[in-house]
Structure 1
Amino acid sequence: MRGLTGKKAIVTGGAQGIGRAIANRLVSEGVAVTIADIHEDFGRSAAKELEADGGAVCFVHTDVADEASVENATAVTADRFGGIDLLVNCAAIFIMRGIEATVNEWRRIMDVNIMGQALCVKHVVPYMPARGGSIVNIASISGHIAQPGYLTYNATKAAVANMTRCMALDLATLGIRVNAVNPGTVWNANNERYHREELGLDRAQADRHPEIGGRHMLHRTADPEEIASAVAFLLSEEASYITGENLMVDGGYTAM
């Protein structure tokens, strides 16, 4: 992607799943990457593997719901790489509850999924160049549709979708673009475990299932790398005239 080589990025939630695929893709594009994640073992392992492949990578243990932790991650990244050009807000938790959700469940998911993204943007922007910074928030199709029993999660992702538009407006005068990627169902390790253990389905069966793969026009789930490609595009100069956009990467799910 044009304009990524030599840039410096933070990827929150970059130790596993979609975040790991994004970190992998950015490193392959010549980006120096900080993996900011609460899971230390996975984070250190991911950074070690990417460094072994020749990437400029570091891991910083980060709780995005803790402002001091976010401040530390941004400061370490700027010191290590000499600045921050790119931010990918991928860290999230999955509390799937309906109206029965407790106050603590609401507070926890909002602290991570909403406040976490807001705090990362707040503390990254001062390190970004006068023009050319780019931010991608990971939202979800769940922020645009109704799903049974998903009230807590869907509410936070809807907030991310509109927060992205507001951030784009506020940061446009600084030359910083802000967009969101909204994935459909992604076949990552957590989803694979859920489908196998709870539903007894392997990926081929899940893709054929009318309520899983069948919900998408393409009749399949996504690979994490397909989400990473969309993120890399929005971060790059190929998307230099795109900001405030919620890009659906959902195999046609929300168009049906």
Structure 2
Amino acid sequence: MTGGAQGIGRATADRLIDEGAQVMIMDTDEESGRSTVAELEERAGGKRIGFVRGDISDESQVVAAVRATEQSFGGVELLVNCAAVFVMRGVEATVEEWRRVMDVNVMGHALMVKHTAPLMEAAGGGSVVNISSISAHIAQPGFLTYSATKAAIVGMTRCMATDLAAKGIRVNAVSPGTVWNANLARRYREKYGLSRAGADAHPDIGGRHMLHRTADPQEIASTIAFLLSSEASFVTGENLMVDAGHSVM
């Protein structure tokens, strides 16, 4: 899985280890990635989790990460595309900003599927979950660059599902609402002086959700785990909103 060193990715790694899966984390943050692996090794029995440093926008690094996973675990059956960069700019965005956010959030997802799909097919099938966002479905000031990539992920998911169905590979997406994590906590503290409770109570943050709060990463991880599992064996090409009703308010 990509982006597994923190936030939704870290919570998903936790959940998948508990479900008995073998998990390879790919992330650009080597310190956090190796720390995550060290913390999970005891529960994973030391043989079901690994880490590889890599940038998904670089195809050679994607190939190396997939090869390392195959060598460690014998193949690939599941993929969680969670890595993302948060370049949030409006129409004033530079070409460099557009390229960076597109290279990671769109091209990176495509490259991961391109290079893991043959291994899934060889294993008799597999499942992919791409992480989109509420930002793909609503308009937000100053979010043009980020929102465009997350909307692209929803469209890519449908196309990937169509292309890979005959190979026994399901492809779905998850669109979370606002998820409380370390990066968000720092942003709201520094920019608005808000704690988690303050953010949950704020009409433009927690109040945008029907449940009047932000999500825990574990709540998104549970949905990802469901879509990866045989419990979702008849689900493909779907985008599942996990946004506490944000998109319908």
SS in 2 for 1:181: strand
Please point out which of 227, 230, 240 is paired with 1:234.
Answer: 227
* 2:185 is the alignment partner of 1:195: no
* Identity score, percent: 66
TM-score with structure 1 setting the length: 0.95
Q: Which residue of 2 aligns with 1:128?
A: 120
Return the offset for 1:144.
1.0
Q: Give the aligned residue type for 1:245.
A: E
* 2:158 is the alignment partner of 1:168: no
Whole-Å separation in 2 of the counterparts to 1:100 and 1:65: 23
Q: Which residue of 1 aligns with 2:216?
A: 223
Gap regions ≥5 residues in structure 1? 1-10
Whole-Å separation in 2 of the counterparts to 1:163 and 1:211: 30
* 2:97 is the alignment partner of 1:114: no
Aligned CA RMSD, in angstroms, stands at 0.8
- Mapping of 1:50-199 within 5 angstroms? 50-55=40-45, 56-130=48-122, 131-199=124-192
TM-score with structure 2 setting the length: 0.97
SS in 2 for 1:99: coil
Q: Give the aligned residue type for 2:241.
A: M
* 2:12 is the alignment partner of 1:19: no
Gap regions ≥5 residues in structure 2? none
Return the offset for 1:54.
2.9
Q: For residues 40-63 of structure 1, what are the alpha-carbon distances to aligned partners after superposition, in whole Å with 9 as ceiling and x for unaligned?
A: 100111111111223410000110
Q: For residues 105-153 of structure 1, what are the alpha-carbon distances to aligned partners after superposition, in whole Å with 9 as ceiling and x for unaligned?
A: 0000000000000000000011114533000000001011110000000
Return the offset for 1:245.
0.3
Which has the higher mean CA deviation after the structures are superposed, 94-103 or 55-64?
A: 55-64
Q: For residues 64-120 of structure 1, what are the alpha-carbon distances to aligned partners after superposition, in whole Å with 9 as ceiling and x for unaligned?
A: 000000000001101110110000000000001000000000000000000000000
Count of matched residue pairs: 246
Q: Give the aligned residue type for 1:70.
A: V
Native 8 Å contact 2:17 2:43 kept in 1 = no
Native 8 Å contact 2:55 2:62 kept in 1 = yes
- Dislocated runs of 4+, deviation >4 Å: none
